[in-house]
């Protein structure tokens, strides 16, 4: 009893269950009480079998390697509101969980609540061997149960099929899930045979008919890199950096995704950071670069708001050197399950030398829909800056069925192309786009605007054929001039978003883009946000064109 009482780290009064700190060390013994560094438990299995009082802490020896998987279950390892149960490392460095079996995770959680998992390294048997995730967050509770209080922090994952995966799979097929999940400062690399690096998914698919599994999740300060995907067979969307589905009000911020997607024949449809089947979600302050996809396959871009998304935003981000488009807005066809694509925004971002995959150069900004029956209305791409020196690149690429983008706008963007045979705008020939282009600045070696089936080589001819384009109150509102940027571009890698390192994309005082933009709110009722990519308030007098708002 004396040993037990002296090990209590925080005993609450009023008959509340005591709170303990347990230690685990490969040099210990599972017959110990685990309540001090002198008498630690030895194995992960001991922790898996134990019932840990809510609010307690379990610490594994830093720098040590533990063979096997940590399995956390609701009845044995959960905390309660105000009493978070913590699993972490102590001493110097972090503990490693080493997994040699292809059918085991590094850490697996089942319906746990009020739990903090932090400071671990998870190493798997190899991405082409493993069939599970490094850290799996599993949900099985029925009846639309809402779970709370799970945080994943400072975890490094390598050598698994998926990196960090959350999967909502309620036993009755309902939308049971987590509120306010936080995944922070995690690294995922050298994973993804046929999976993804950081992935929130759900079997309760389709927000047209079901509630979101993940409410207000936050992915903050994470890196996903060198995750090839597509190893054994064609698998759609394997090899993505960060992918969220079935979410409402998610935030992905201060993250970096690079060199994901294998570029082999089996990697189809990965993107650096993206959403599908989501509502009211935001990607901001992120860098996504050098992501790939299989030869001749889709995607491989930096950022994407994809099928079934409504009210989602990508803002204040930097995309560069991706095989696919820097920023994509695309609706795949599934009218029975997903919401129509409406109310999305791509704004105050930079695309640099995106769309590099040959033979198809997909461009800086891409929109499209595979649906022919539903409109994709009220989508706005505004105040972005696209630079490309890639030959045959596209500034703004309207990929498929652009006539469905009704009441949608491409406005106040800079398209700055220096490569040969480029198109400032390139649309699919199947239909005339419904998107309205207003107040953009276009610069390229020669003018090429493909609008529907026809290519126009002057802005005058294009506007004559389509009198509402780049026209307000009968007057032309576009600029056909060099935007006169402050610095030398391209910039290249900046190791995560930092607007101070992107000053080259500001415009000089004499630029036609300064005070050259349109007031999108007064013209079309578009809320444009409160700041630019650099944190400057909007507006400051007249509106600017591009990602920078001048004083």
pLDDT digits (tens, 9 = 90+) for 256-273: 999 999 755 565 689 999
Please give the C-alpha separations between residue 339 and each of 158, 199, 252, in angstroms, as whole numbers.
35, 21, 21
Task: Please tell me the predicted confidence (pLDDT) of residue 14.
Answer: 38
DSSP track, 191-218: --SSS-SEEEEESS--TTTS--SEES-E
Query: Phi/psi of residue 502, each to 5°?
Result: -115, 20
Query: What average pLDDT does range 530-550 have in this prediction?
Result: 97
Strand 115-123 and strand 95-98: the pairing is parallel
Average pLDDT over residues 448-459: 96
Q: CB-based burial of residue 217 (10 Å sphere; 0-12 exposed, 13-18 middle, 19+ buried)?
A: buried
H-helix or E-strand containing 250?
Answer: none
Q: In the chain, how long is the greatest CA-to-CA distance?
A: 90
* 298 pLDDT above the threshold of 70: yes
Whether 291 contacts 307, CB under 8 Å:
no
pLDDT of residue 233: 63
d(CA 126, CA 80): 36
Cβ atoms of residues 172 and 205 within 8 Å: no
Q: E strands, 221-356, where?
A: 223-225, 235-236, 242-248, 251-253, 256-258, 267-268, 273-279, 282-284, 287-289, 303-305, 313-315, 318-320, 327-331, 345-347, 350-352
Residue 193 is predicted with a pLDDT of 79
User: pLDDT tens digits, residue range 38-81?
Assistant: 999 999 999 999 999 999 999 999 999 999 999 999 999 999 99
- CA torsion 338-410-419-432 (nearest 10°) is 70
Residue-level pLDDT at 359: 67
Mean pLDDT computed over 289-306: 90
pLDDT digits (tens, 9 = 90+) for 326-361: 999 999 999 999 999 999 999 999 999 999 987 667
Task: Bin 285: left if φ > 0, else alpha if -120 < ψ < 50, else beta.
Answer: left
Q: Are 133 and 195 in contact (CB under 8 A)?
A: yes
pTM of the model as a whole: 0.95
Q: What torsion, rounded to 10 degrees, do the Cα atoms 211, 213, 219, 223 define?
A: -120
- The DSSP element (H or E) to which 44 belongs, if any, is helix 44-49
| Contact by Cβ (8 Å): 195, 229 | yes
For 420-446, the pLDDT digits (tens) are 999 999 998 779 999 999 999 999 999
Alpha carbon distance 128, 131 (integer Å): 8
For 421-468, give the DSSP string: T-EEEEE-TTS---PEEES-EEE-SS--EEETTEEESSHHHHHHHSTT
What are the tokens at 480? Answer: 């056909």
Contact 396, 418 (CB under 8 A): no
């Amino acid at each position: 009893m004396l040993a037990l009482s002296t090990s209590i780290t925080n005993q609450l009064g009023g008959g509340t269950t005591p709170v303990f700190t347990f230690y685990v060390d490969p040099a210990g013994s599972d017959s110990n009480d685990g309540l001090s560094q002198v008498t630690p438990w030895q194995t992960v299995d001991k922790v898996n079998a134990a019932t840990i009082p809510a609010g307690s802490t379990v610490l594994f020896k830093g720098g040590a390697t533990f063979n096997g998987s940590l399995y956390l279950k609701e009845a044995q390892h959960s905390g309660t509101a105000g009493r978070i149960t913590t699993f972490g490392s102590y001493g110097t460095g972090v503990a490693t969980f080493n997994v040699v079996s292809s059918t085991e995770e590094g850490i697996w959680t089942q319906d746990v609540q009020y739990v903090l998992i932090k400071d671990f390294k998870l190493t798997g048997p190899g991405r082409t061997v493993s069939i599970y995730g490094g850290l799996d967050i599993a949900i099985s509770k029925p009846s639309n149960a809402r779970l709370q209080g799970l945080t994943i922090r400072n975890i490094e994952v390598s050598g698994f099929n998926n990196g960090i995966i959350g999967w909502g799979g309620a036993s009755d097929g309902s939308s049971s899930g987590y509120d306010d999940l936080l995944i922070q400062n995690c690294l995922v690399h050298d994973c993804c045979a046929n999976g993804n690096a950081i992935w929130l998914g759900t079997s309760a698919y389709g927000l047209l008919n079901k509630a979101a599994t993940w409410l207000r999740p936050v992915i903050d300060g994470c890196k996903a890199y060198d995750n090839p995907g597509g190893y054994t067979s064609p698998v759609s969307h394997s090899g993505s950096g960060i992918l969220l589905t079935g979410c409402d009000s998610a935030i992905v911020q201060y993250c970096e995704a690079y060199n994901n997607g294998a570029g082999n024949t089996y990697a189809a449809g990965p993107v650096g950071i993206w959403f599908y089947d989501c509502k009211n979600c935001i990607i901001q302050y992120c860098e996504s670069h050098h992501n790939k996809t299989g030869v001749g396959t889709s995607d491989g871009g930096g950022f994407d708001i994809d099928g079934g998304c409504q009210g989602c935003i990508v803002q204040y981000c930097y995309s560069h050197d991706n095989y696919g488009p820097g920023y994509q807005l695309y609706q795949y066809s599934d009218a029975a399950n997903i919401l129509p694509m409406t109310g999305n925004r791509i704004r105050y971002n930079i695309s640099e030398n995106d769309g590099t995959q040959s033979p198809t150069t997909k461009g800086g900004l891409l929109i499209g829909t595979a649906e022919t029956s539903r409109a994709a209305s009220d989508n706005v791409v505004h105040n972005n800056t696209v630079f490309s020196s890639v030959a045959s690149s596209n500034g703004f690429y309207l990929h498929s069925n652009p006539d469905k983008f009704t009441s949608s706008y491409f406005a106040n963007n800079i398209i700055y192309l220096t490569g040969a045979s480029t198109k400032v705008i390139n649309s699919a020939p199947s239909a005339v786009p419904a998107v309205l282009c207003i107040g953009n600045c276009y610069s390229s070696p020669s003018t090429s605007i493909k609008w529907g089936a026809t290519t126009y080589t002057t802005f005058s001819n294009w506007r004559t054929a389509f009198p509402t384009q780049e026209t307000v109150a009968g007057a032309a509102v576009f600029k056909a001039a060099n935007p006169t940027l402050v610095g030398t571009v391209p910039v290249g890698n900046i190791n995560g978003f930092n607007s101070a390192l992107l000053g080259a994309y500001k415009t000089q005082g004499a630029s036609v883009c300064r005070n050259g933009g349109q007031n999108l709110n007064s013209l079309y009722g578009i809320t444009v946000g409160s700041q630019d990519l650099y944190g400057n308030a909007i507006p400051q007098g007249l509106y600017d064109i591009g990602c920078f708002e001048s004083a």
